[in-house]
Structure 1
Amino acid sequence: MIPAPRRLVLAAALAAPAIARAQQQRPVTIIVPFAAGGSTDVLSRLMSERMTQTLGQTVLVENRAGGNTIVGAEYVARAQPDGNTLLMAAGTTLSINPVVVKNLPYKVEDFAPITLATTYPFGIITQNKGPADIPALIAAAKADPGGITYGTNGPTTLTNVAMLLVTERLGIRMQDVTYRGDSAALNDFVAGNLDVLVVAGSTAVPVFRNGQGRLIGWTSLQRMPTTPEVPTVAEFAPGTEALSWFGLLAPARTAPARVQQLHDAAAESLKDPRIQERLTRDAQFIVGNTPEEFAQFLRDQDRLWRPILSKLDVQNN
């Protein structure tokens, strides 16, 4: 007869694979902390389709917008660390909020990095009857300080902080108008209620190609291959660069083997030619790095943005 302590150990050992199988029979849900239709949502849905095939486990996308991505991020930070609830974070989530938001209900250490999916600049779009280029925007803004409106995803989101940096470097002042996601800002822009639209490439490029506005600049150092005719802000204010990013994370304490499994599926999805074509078209740089490299990237981002936020005197919430 097997002694009681050994029976308990044996039972636990036999139960572990069954528990793991049960966990993996449940769908994986990628939480997008923005409204549906934006660039974060598009990337997540593209990756989820391919990851479903690779994992052999259904991967779904759920939008939990609100609070400058805080709502969705807090939800994942408090989720079971079984690898079935993931966060598609943006730069705002883990590069900006930890610096500027008081009493933030999560911290970077609450997450296990899986992979940095992409990085990207913001496109600056004016109305077709508005300023035709960066010098014209500078002149118009100086002629009417604070009179020109531009749309972002909210105070202290990366679109907002990027434009604070851009306007400071260009020596101008404009009025920020807050929206809950790119789609809402785009609708107001197309309706003529907004002078300037500041959005990621997945929104900026179609607006430009469809003739709904003028794409007058990118917030990257180099011009984007998909729009070589469009200059960068750095060409008028040397050294000006403001990039955001999208990265996949699990709750902290998720088993390393599960993190690696999710990484392999996510990184594999980013190699899909169909996904690469779409992301390149949307002016994103594909990364797909390791969990360790993503963790280092987050540390580097903190060192980058803290002095900029301090210099720009962004107010804490």
Structure 2
Amino acid sequence: METVTQCLEAPMKRLYLFIALLWLGMAPGLARAAPPSYQDLYANPARTMPMQPTWQLQPVQTQAPPWDDIFAFTIGIAPNLIERLRWLSLNPNRYSELAPALFDAFDGRTLSLSPSARSFCEGRWQVVRLEYISLNTEYQPSLKVWLVEQRPGGGLRTTTAVGRMDAQGQWAVPPVSCDGKTTMSIESSTALSYLMPEESRPMPSELQVDTVYAQHGLRDAQGQWRTPAPPRDIATAQWMDYLLQIVTPGSTGSGLIDARGKVVIPFIFGNLPDATAQRRIRLCTSVGLNRQRNASTPRACRWQRLRGSQGGAALRPVKDTSTSRWGYQNAQGQWVIAPQFHEARPFRHGYAVVAGAFPEDWRPPGWQDSQPIIRQFYRMGRFWVAEALVRNASTDGRWVIRDGLLNDAGQWLVPVRQPALHITVPFAQGGRTSHYAQMLATHLPNLLGRSVLVDHVPPTTLTDDPRLMTEGGNTRAMLAAVRLPRGGIQGVHRGPPIDALLQSLLPVTLLASEPLVLVMDSEKADTLGIHSTDDLLAYARAHPGSLRIGTGDDGWTGHLAFNQLLAMSGADMQRVVFRRMYPDSDVITKEHAVDLLFAPANGVKVAVERGQLRVLGTTAAPEHPQSYQGVQWPTLASSAALTGYTAYDHFSLWAPADSDAASNRLLQNAIAQVLAKPEVRKHLQDLQAVGGGGSPENLLELEDEEHKRWVRALSSHAR
């Protein structure tokens, strides 16, 4: 049978359009989650907060490492148990994009709450935010979460609760029972433990802990410092040591002033000796790993030379009765150095030892406040942990104890959030593919723990850089619209060979499938007495070639639907080809170019509502009948002559060749959870679509089935 062709366009346009449907792309930036508002959540539980991304570790070797990011771990365990410690916990501040999680220093893996655990009790409870991880009395991590409850009688409410998870990130003890009762007192042998088994020991390392003036660092086998070298200036070392004791308000220290009252040595030392005739002073600091200082704590001392200073001999220390502070007066009783010290000694050789409040604002020369003050290093599994005193934006400007992590190469490891997942749609915004992509971007972030962005990309971009199809790792995914198999059908799809390029993609999952509808001009149907599929086939057999059916271009689903219809029924009708995916209803209602039309439901529903078009059947499987405005449409397969007949537009997700199979499986599982949500199921039903969610293997099987379907339809009926 001859094909009637309208609206001729360049053949290459079809190729570009097809390639574009299977194109991967990535926008240049990464989205950042907005800081949560707890007040908003309580006031409006339906407004779920962005789920913070899970995180990974990344080594840094820069001269100025990002200390704020490195020292982001906590331990929360008794010091005598540190050598048995296995897990470090990450507790970022509430504005961070990192989710609270655990790091296993024995196996080198990260663990967070599994996406599948973020909904429990058959969806009644949804985890909308991870708050922090702490330890219970059994040395098990306890995870505080924000929950939204779908109440049995309708409505939502928000609460917080604490649960415990197992080594797979599932709930060993959920935050609440299904009826909302607290679970904190429930014991579980499967809950994760912070401690390594008794027989486990830290692994050996070539790095060794070394100290200078009680300040610690790691050296390699060649003696090179792999961490910041401890200070060799004893004043800096003593200042750091003093801070490591967590200076309390009102603490005092001894220092040195000259005859003008200028501070020569800050008030950070203990009981200093007076300056000697040689104008030098002996400065000492405590040494050793024990932070609890006492009389037996060893000390390291050195002599520090002093520049020549004159005067002071005529001054005498005097205590001011009104302030109880010491200063210096001359022979006439006049204050030369105002009373300000807690203690004061006479001047010797131009210097005087005085005691005053610990100078909280004093810093060693060149010191940056972002730099940590390391307390100690200890071996943990196959990693090194540095415990430090830090003060930065994440601590609200307070000195707090945090931990950093190093590998055996001496590299600091920084927890970084997972990059956003980019779903590429090769069309401008709008249309079915774009709609499905936006649906994923709405629901996936809470399940994946990462941002999901939709990129709309010009179709011809792929021809400029084929790498976009094969590279991108776990940061890209592609929503391929409408057609399977990917490489097309030989002899149907024309242009340069693209099979090898398309076949390099890895399957993720089938997202949704939409059947077509076969509609007919209502007036002509009445005139010819055609009210059903059987009526249509009977008329077509009695009047071969008299009926015209409009479809999209070769290779689209309408082409397959037409060929299957004729091959299975034995009827004879003309196919009229329109140079696009699908013709719209105007080709019947206004142009009267055809009698019947294969098209998606959303392309003809308005004309059906107006009574201009009559639905004779859909290409759906009988177990998934389609309905509109309460009227169920028959399936073409319900006709005995068309038993087994189906034809679907398939919307499927694929990943680059260099993506990780485990990550793709995680994405597939998350999409399956999205498709299982009642509101999503209802939405797909309204779109006349059938949800997918199957495994990557299922998607490949579907692709093979579609290929066979095409071959059978084309071989049994001439195009």
TM-score range, shorter-chain basis? 0.7 to 0.9
Map residues 145-156 of structure 1 onto 2, 5 A cutoff: 145=545, 148-152=548-552, 154-156=553-555
Distance 2:716 2:604 in 1: 28
* Structure having greater relative contact order (Cα 8 Å, sep ≥ 6): 1
CA RMSD, Structure 1 to Structure 2 (Å): 3.9
1:6-64 per-residue CA deviation (whole Å, 9 max, x = no partner) reads 9999589958x65x74xx14x613324x6765433433332232224444313215265
Distance 2:410 2:523 in 1: 73
2:711 is paired with a residue of what secondary structure?
helix
Q: Return the offset for 1:217.
A: 0.8
Aligned to 2:251: none
Structure 2 counterpart of 1:216, which letter? L
Aligned to 1:86: 477
Q: Return the offset for 1:272.
A: 3.0
Q: Retained in 2: the 8 A contact 1:45–1:61?
A: no
Map residues 181-260 of structure 1 onto 2, 5 A cutoff: 181-182=581-582, 185-195=584-594, 196-205=596-605, 207-209=607-609, 211-222=611-622, 224-226=625-627, 229-234=632-637, 235-244=639-648, 245-260=650-665
| TM-score, normalisation: structure 2 | 0.37
1:280-310 per-residue CA deviation (whole Å, 9 max, x = no partner) reads 1232221211223323332333344333333
- Aligned pair in 2 of structure 1 residues 237, 50: CA closer, same or farther (>3 Å)? same
Pick aligned residue for 1:101 from 493, 496, 504: 493
Q: Return the offset for 1:246.
A: 1.7
Q: Return the offset for 1:187.
A: 4.7
Deviates more, 1:226-235 or 1:119-128: 226-235
Distance 2:654 2:633 in 1: 33
- Aligned pair in 2 of structure 1 residues 47, 298: CA closer, same or farther (>3 Å)? same
Q: Retained in 2: the 8 A contact 1:124–1:218?
A: yes
Deviates more, 1:240-249 or 1:45-54: 45-54
1:53-80 per-residue CA deviation (whole Å, 9 max, x = no partner) reads 44431321526558xxx979x9686252
- Aligned pair in 2 of structure 1 residues 206, 272: CA closer, same or farther (>3 Å)? farther
Structure 1 counterpart of 2:566, which letter? T
Q: Retained in 2: the 8 A contact 1:267–1:288?
A: yes
Distance 1:63 1:233 in 2: 36
1:238-259 per-residue CA deviation (whole Å, 9 max, x = no partner) reads 3251322221111222112331
Aligned to 1:164: 563
Distance 1:142 1:224 in 2: 29
Pick aligned residue for 2:532 from 104, 129, 133: 133
Q: Does residue 691 of structure 2 align to residue 286 of structure 1?
A: yes
Q: Does residue 514 of structure 2 align to residue 111 of structure 1?
A: no
Q: Return the offset for 1:225.
A: 4.7
Map residues 21-40 of structure 1 onto 2, 5 A cutoff: 21=418, 24-25=419-420, 28-32=422-426, 37-40=430-433
Structure 2 counterpart of 1:92, which letter? R
Pick aligned residue for 1:174 from 574, 581, 592: 574
Q: Does residue 673 of structure 2 align to residue 268 of structure 1?
A: yes
1:167-213 per-residue CA deviation (whole Å, 9 max, x = no partner) reads 3333122232224344x624544534443231233445555345452
Q: Retained in 1: the 8 A contact 2:565–2:642?
A: no
Larger radius of gyration: 2
Structure 1 counterpart of 2:440, which letter? M
1:212-253 per-residue CA deviation (whole Å, 9 max, x = no partner) reads 521111123416152564322231523251322221111222
Q: Retained in 2: the 8 A contact 1:109–1:252?
A: no
2:676 is paired with a residue of what secondary structure?
coil
Structure 2 counterpart of 1:105, which letter? I
Aligned to 2:363: none
Greater share of residues in strand: 2
Structure 2 counterpart of 1:125, which letter? V
Q: Retained in 2: the 8 A contact 1:97–1:104?
A: no
- Aligned pair in 2 of structure 1 residues 201, 39: CA closer, same or farther (>3 Å)? farther
Distance 2:606 2:687 in 1: 8
Q: Retained in 1: the 8 A contact 2:423–2:437?
A: no
Q: Does residue 437 of structure 2 align to residue 44 of structure 1?
A: yes
Q: Retained in 2: the 8 A contact 1:167–1:174?
A: no
- Aligned pair in 2 of structure 1 residues 10, 274: CA closer, same or farther (>3 Å)? farther
- Aligned pair in 2 of structure 1 residues 36, 44: CA closer, same or farther (>3 Å)? same
1:123-149 per-residue CA deviation (whole Å, 9 max, x = no partner) reads 111223232433454426864726624
Distance 1:162 1:216 in 2: 14
Q: Retained in 1: the 8 A contact 2:619–2:645?
A: yes
2:627 is paired with a residue of what secondary structure?
coil
Q: Retained in 1: the 8 A contact 2:540–2:546?
A: no
Q: What percent of counterpart residues are identical? A: 16
Greater share of residues in helix: 1
Q: Return the offset for 1:122.
A: 1.6
Distance 1:173 1:141 in 2: 9
1:180 is paired with a residue of what secondary structure?
coil
Structure 1 counterpart of 2:555, which letter? T
- Aligned pair in 2 of structure 1 residues 137, 95: CA closer, same or farther (>3 Å)? farther
Task: Return 5+ residue gaps in structure 2 as ranges.
Answer: 1-218, 227-405, 526-530
Deviates more, 1:93-102 or 1:49-58: 93-102
| TM-score, normalisation: structure 1 | 0.75
Distance 2:585 2:679 in 1: 26
Q: Retained in 1: the 8 A contact 2:425–2:433?
A: no
- Aligned pair in 2 of structure 1 residues 95, 30: CA closer, same or farther (>3 Å)? closer
